Amino acid sequence: MDLNTTLDQVYGIGPNIYKRLQKLGLNTAKDAIFYYPFRYEDFSNIKQISELVDGETTTIRGKIILLNNKRSPRKKMNLTEALIEDDSGQIQIIWFNQPFIKNNLSVGEEIYLSGTIKNSLMGLSMTNPSYEKTLRDTTHTARIVPIYPTTENLTQKQIRYIIKKCLPVSYIIEDTLVKEIIEQENLICLGDAIRQIHFPDNEESLQKARERLSFDEVFYLLCLSKAIKNENQKNTAPIIKFREEKIKKFVDNLPFELTKSQKISAWDIFKDLEKNIPMNRLLEGDVGSGKTIVAIMASYNTILNEHQAIFMAPTQILAKQHFEKIIQIFENSNISICLFTNKERLIYNGKNKIAKTFSKAKIINEIKTGNINIIIGTHSVIGKDVEFPHLGLVIVDEQHRFGVRQRHELIERTKDISPHFLSMTATPIPRSLALTIYGDLDISRITEKPLGRQKTITKLVSNKNRSRAYEFIYNQIEKGRQAFVICPLINDSDKLGVKSVLSEYEKLNNDIFPNLDIKFLHGKMKESEKNEILKNFANNKTKILVSTSVIEVGIDYPNASIMMIEGADRFGLASLHQFRGRVGRGTHQSYCFLFTDNYSKKTIDRLEILESTDDGFKLSEFDLKTRGSGDLYGNVQSGFLSQIKIADLSDFELIKKAQKWTNEIFLSDPELTNHKELKDKLSEFIKNVHLE
């Protein structure tokens, strides 16, 4: 067996199990040994039967005295009953629906049993314990037992069996981590770490294994970031001078005063643009903090230098919204702006005053001849057939990162000149996490909200107060405001009991607010329908919009003052915070009402945090600590995160340590000429990470 041996060749694994393993992404022995447990049960402490306490989960060792299969007439189930004895006493064992156990075991044999103890009037018992004969070496019991993420029809026992079978390849896997690091940081070798992470001898060796494997993950990520950054800096970018006077004038004409951090961020960007190496900056700022205007200033400065700017949004709706905002801002200039999406193509310029529809070919031609200054669109803007003669700046809104591959493609079409990149995100990313997943980017942060904004009042509303909430909403609407209602699903058929957009819409429209204009919105609707609905909401014709999470990013309707979220427990704090950010964007006092049918303490505690803070960074720190980086950043599209399986990205010490080594290595050997193994490792790594 070697690292690439496919798992169907492992003894005991048939085509069915192989298929299930593939579902988990496990194809080869290598995949298997890098498939880490997500938790452990500590059965290493073997107890005497007489010491057992009701409710504890533990392991015992004893002899089988009795063993019988029975049918339970009442429940139509198979029961396997056993009586086990050690020096100190006896315990009754019951297994449900596992009649084969009787064939695996026999009276007189000695076995380990691990499970939860019940002590009732009937005496001591254990139900469905895992077991193992004492003669064999112990995989499933009498140790710290790994528990793996699994799928239907694949038991923990099966996964453990497979991993155990593959584990010998850990002896031939090469440990390519820089020797010096292993020595100085006192790390254990890769093979040991892999063996111990699956079947730890004890708590301490498990800890050492975790330390080693976590270090690897973070270190390689940081190295990768560094390598990408170095690579990027070899490209040449157009020098875009800061046109101070014109920019000042532009800012003076804005209907508001820029906040301090808007000014600082803009300044960071202007400084970057003046260099002939491409900017690669992330502008982070909570919803409503005013990132767009910073991006527009950067675009304007780019245009003043006779270069084009691209403004990319994740959805058609947002692209359109940006287009409308931007043409308003440049209404009295001679700047031409186009909207370029698969569905809609418009050109606006200050001279003809209205946006006209164009064919795809025509618009591509206009861009190519340099007649368009700002190109706004979805990703289709950078499609293969579009050429940009003077591209200076690419802005990516709510996408977090521009792909390495797309960047290369663009550079090829911009004749070896690499544009400057500005990504924008409203997902507040804790510093430790930003370092690891955005290590290749420079970061600017907008930390305060524009003046005059009131804090949105957030309330977790119990169902008995639901009608009061509706009354409140009605009053707000009478005062001229509007409301959003967010539901987790489109229709009811998907999951029982979870609020859906369609049924909620029916209810509100027919029963609760029959005299109000209510509309619904979800991702499966036609673009033209969506546009129509949003238009009516924008001009305050529609009062309530019932929607799925499509409304999450970027939508800007300052008149909306109520955000009502159904099934709030089904969303991460980061998402909920994003929803809340859809209101409180004007000068009106705004409200966010959270509803849930899940009253577990954990859920309530989590939702109550939203009531107490509107600091997105705090919320994300909290989510990172309690839920880990995985599911929290579901909406951070990051191939990077998929590479983090075990490292705790809130562990600042670990990250600092890895960062120190990364800096040291790249400082002395930026091309990694003396670190061939590391270089190879990174090439392999970059194949797995698709950098979106």
List Cβ neighbours of 527 (8 Å cut-off, separation of 6 or more).
Answer: 316, 343, 344
Stretch that binds ligand ADP, among 114-122, 125-133, 283-291, 433-441 (CB under 6 A): 283-291
Q: Is the Cβ of residue 144 or residue 573 nearer to ligand ADP in the bound state?
A: 573
Stretch that binds ligand ADP, among 73-81, 124-132, 256-264, 562-570 (CB under 6 A): 256-264
Crossing angle between the packed helical segments 291-304 and 244-252, to the nearest 10 degrees: 140
Instruction: Report 534-563 residues binding ligand ADP (CB under 6 A).
Output: 554, 556, 558
The site partner of 62 among ligand ADP, Mg ion, none (C-beta below 5 to 8 Å per kind) is none
The site partner of 419 among ligand ADP, Mg ion, none (C-beta below 5 to 8 Å per kind) is none
Q: Judged by CB under 6 A, which of 80, 170, 292, 458 binds ligand ADP? A: 292
Q: Judged by CB under 6 A, which of 445, 577, 585, 681 binds ligand ADP? A: 585
Residue 420 phi/psi, 5-degree rounding, is: -80, 145
In angstroms, give the least distance from the CB of 322 to ligand ADP.
9
CA dist 300 and 52 (Å) reads 74
314 part of the interface to Mg ion, by CB under 5 A? no
Helix (H) or strand (E) holding 595, with range, is none
In angstroms, give the least distance from the CB of 350 to ligand ADP.
20
Stretch that binds ligand ADP, among 156-164, 166-174, 258-266, 379-387 (CB under 6 A): 258-266
Contact present, 268 and 442 (Cβ < 8 Å): yes
Q: Judged by CB under 6 A, which of 144, 197, 335, 426 binds ligand ADP? A: 426
Q: Judged by CB under 6 A, which of 162, 169, 287, 594 binds ligand ADP? A: 287
Stretch that binds ligand ADP, among 113-121, 177-185, 252-260, 497-505 (CB under 6 A): 252-260
The site partner of 321 among Mg ion, ligand ADP, none (C-beta below 5 to 8 Å per kind) is none
Residues forming beta bridges with residue 58, ordered by sequence position:
115
Contact present, 665 and 675 (Cβ < 8 Å): yes
Count each helix (H run) and each strand (E run) in the chain, helices first.
22, 24
262 part of the interface to ligand ADP, by CB under 6 A? yes
In angstroms, give the least distance from the CB of 589 to ligand ADP.
16
259 part of the interface to ligand ADP, by CB under 6 A? yes
**Which single residue is written with the structure tokens 């393993």?**
21
The DSSP code sequence of 331-375 is TTS--EEEEE-SS-EEEEETTT-S-EE--HHHHHHHHHTT--SEE
Q: Judged by CB under 6 A, which of 129, 290, 392, 616 binds ligand ADP? A: 290
- Name which of 124, 119, 121, 144 is nearest 59 in CA terms: 144
Residue nearest Mg ion by beta-carbon distance: 554
In angstroms, give the least distance from the CB of 126 to ligand ADP.
56
The site partner of 288 among Mg ion, ligand ADP, none (C-beta below 5 to 8 Å per kind) is ligand ADP
The site partner of 290 among Mg ion, ligand ADP, none (C-beta below 5 to 8 Å per kind) is ligand ADP
The DSSP code sequence of 472-487 is HHHHHHHTT-EEEEE-
The site partner of 289 among ligand ADP, Mg ion, none (C-beta below 5 to 8 Å per kind) is ligand ADP
Q: Is the Cβ of residue 557 or residue 622 nearer to ligand ADP in the bound state?
A: 557
681 part of the interface to ligand ADP, by CB under 6 A? no
**Which single residue is written with the structure tokens 């245009």?**
303
258 part of the interface to ligand ADP, by CB under 6 A? yes
Per-residue string for binding with ligand ADP, 433-462, x by CB under 6 A? -----------------xx-----------
| SS3 letters across 368-427 | HCCCCCEEEECHHHHCCCCCCCCEEEEEEECCCCCCHHHHHHHHHHCCCECCEEEEEECC
Crossing angle between the packed helical segments 601-612 and 616-632, to the nearest 10 degrees: 140
Q: Is the Cβ of residue 285 or residue 392 nearer to Mg ion in the bound state?
A: 285
291 part of the interface to ligand ADP, by CB under 6 A? yes
Q: Judged by CB under 6 A, which of 177, 293, 317, 607 binds ligand ADP? A: 293
Work out whether the CA dihedral 351, 355, 359, 363 comes out positive or negative: positive
322 part of the interface to ligand ADP, by CB under 6 A? no
3-class secondary-structure state, position 144: strand
Q: Is the Cβ of residue 208 or residue 322 nearer to Mg ion in the bound state?
A: 322
Q: What's at 279, amino acid-wise?
A: M
Contact present, 57 and 111 (Cβ < 8 Å): no
Long-range CB pairs of 684-688 (<8 Å, 24+ gap) are: 685/220, 685/224, 685/643, 686/224, 686/404, 688/639, 688/642, 688/643
Crossing angle between the packed helical segments 15-23 and 156-166, to the nearest 10 degrees: 90
3-class secondary-structure state, position 238: coil
Helix (H) or strand (E) holding 245, with range, is helix 244-252
Instruction: Report 536-595 residues binding Mg ion (CB under 5 A).
Output: 554
Contacts with Mg ion by CB under 5 A: the residue count is 1
Stretch that binds ligand ADP, among 257-265, 332-340, 487-495, 571-579 (CB under 6 A): 257-265
Which residues in this chain contact ligand ADP in the complex, by CB under 6 A? 256-259, 262, 285, 287-293, 426, 450-451, 554, 556, 558, 585
Which residues in this chain contact Mg ion in the complex, by CB under 5 A? 554
